[in-house]
Structure 1
Amino acid sequence: MKLKLARTTLKAKPKTIELKKLEEELASRSIFYFDKDNSHKELKELIEYFEEKGYSVYMREVKYGLDDNEFIYEVHIIA
């Protein structure tokens, strides 16, 4: 599964990351930011994947502007 990481600027294209690469990065960090272009279903699958592996996962929307479409997803994955 590929997920889109949060954009670094408003006009940038979101970069993608494979689920396996995300799992490898858990050794160095536990908070990830994903773009609003990811579907809710994809993020639920991400949560289920890591919960099945014994991780605790917390997800929330973070607003960065006044418009309803100005948000990103913040995901905490804790061993």
Structure 2
Amino acid sequence: MDPSHQKYYSLLISTQFTFIGAIASCTTLIKDYCQNLDVLTYKLTFLKKLKSKLNQLDSNIISIILLGLIMFTLSFITIKGN
């Protein structure tokens, strides 16, 4: 090997190892991002289900309140009629 080219070869090898390290780091970051995305997707699905349940509960509460008002009105009319 020509001594004048030795520094270029070592620079080339060093650059290749740096490039391989960068690819490995990017792969790790992408893997972590995908895992975080899976967690966020799960949380979003959970929140959608929770919202659906709360909407059902909200409509049930409104129905119960209306039923209570009707019963109160009927009992008031019955008491007033006697």
**Range class of TM-score, shorter chain:** under 0.3
Whichever structure has more helix as a proportion of its residues is 2
Using structure 2 for the length normalisation, give the TM-score.
0.20
Whichever structure has more strand as a proportion of its residues is 1
- Which has more radius of gyration? 2
